[in-house]
Structure 1
Amino acid sequence: MYERILVTTDGSELSRKAVIEAIALCRKLGAELYLLHVVPRYPMSYFEGGSALEAGEVSRIEKQWADHGRTIVDQAAKQAEESGLVARAVVMQSDAVADSIIAAARKHRCSLIVMASHGRRGLQRVLLGSETQHVLTQSEIPVLVLR
């Protein structure tokens, strides 16, 4: 049924739970696991009072974020491999997180996307946005949402 499963992780407690569930699902199905962390680009603000950094400093910060993301997915991949799975760690850099999740699932020919959701409702969801909601509405690949 599901031969390749992509799970997103940002290192939070909730996403670590999603990784554990995805590992269990992959073990039951004999599926490969892809672990994805999307690193945002450094925000460039041109508004009054905004602090502009030199390009070298922005690059250093973005590399630090990417290295941190790599650590997150590598640790999760190690956890999956200790469970006997084939696991691949993927880090992407983009401000369009949901679009990156869908693109990664397509690129790696995943048949299921597993994500965690904070379950925000109402105004909080409108103000904070919902990457999970975007993936749910835009993906042609089935999505399993865990809370």
Structure 2
Amino acid sequence: MKTQTFREFRENFLNFFRELFLYHYSSLKFRAKVFAIVISANKEWGECEMNILQKAAVKIYDNQEERVEALISAVKDYINELEEYEYLGERYWIADIKKDIAKHKRFIKKIDIQTLKEFGKCVKDKETRMYQQRVIEFLENLKKEFGEKNDV
């Protein structure tokens, strides 16, 4: 049996209560995955990305401080997971996002391409910027693919 570190215990504890007390937590979790995969495309992410995320969260949740903080925290958790379980690769996370969309069609509306493109301002390296753009293009294609199916 694996023992938990204090950090893991704390994260699990907080996630448990977020899921219980936040309305539409699955939607928030989905948004967090999308933000995390775009932000983590830049291995040297930092304050710039967190500032953009903060502004996006305030805009999404109309200054509902509790939800804004929950989204930011969930994004950081997912980024940590992405970094910790790097061996799974981005394909795993993208497949998870695609699975979420297939299960909850309304989630496709939660992908804001313009906001995701804002994170490109933080990337200094040309190759990293191209990679991040490919991730965003993939999400944009998902929007088109699932959006067209839902509009019919």
Same topology, TM > 0.5: no
TM range (shorter): 0.3 to 0.5
* TM-score for the superposition, normalised by structure 1: 0.37
* TM-score for the superposition, normalised by structure 2: 0.36
- Which structure is higher in strand share? 1
- Which structure is higher in helix share? 2
